[in-house]
Structure 1
């Protein structure tokens, strides 16, 4: 998961550098008024999102498999804890009925 996040940040940083260069060279408009910095960041986000979606498809699939495994493991642990609690409750009730 960390690898996927770092790869996404890398693609964003690359797009940020390219967009910054295009804006300051005059190829891309500078934005309105004092919004130049925000313009560069937003344009970089818009460009990097589809690139990440296409380029990181395999890495995203690997990350989703890891997330599914963690969720399944957590569900199994919760079910095990629940069954232990139910067993303890049943034992306590059984002792209360015999006393």
Structure 2
């Protein structure tokens, strides 16, 4: 998961550098007033999102398998704890009724 995040950040950083170069060379229009920095960041986000979606497909699938396995383990642990509690409750009730 960390690898995927770092790859996304790398793609964003690359887009940020390219967009910054295009804005300051005059190919892409500058933002209005003092919003130039925000314009560059937003444009970089908009450009990097579809690139990341296409380029990082395999890495995203690999990360989702890890997340799904972690969720399954957590569910199994919760079910095991619930079963232990039910068994303890049933045992306590059975001992209370026989007295």
What TM-score, normalized by structure 2, do the two folds share?
A: 0.98
CA distance in 2 between counterparts of 1:25 and 1:15 reads 15
Number of the residue aligned with 1:9: 9
After TM superposition, the structure 1 stretch with the greater mean CA deviation from structure 2, 80-89 or 28-37, is: 28-37
Structure 1: gaps of 5 or more residues = none
Task: Compute the TM-score of the two structures, normalised by the length of structure 1.
Answer: 0.98
CA RMSD of aligned residues (A): 0.5
2:94 matched residue in structure 1: 94
Does residue 83 of the first structure (1) align with residue 93 of the second (2)? no
Correspondence for 1:48: 48
CA separation in 2, counterparts of 1:64 and 1:4?
A: 10
Distance between the aligned counterparts of 2:79 and 2:63, measured in 1?
A: 24
Write the distance in 2 (CA, Å) between the matches of 1:16 and 1:73.
39
* Corresponding residue for residue 65 of structure 2: 65
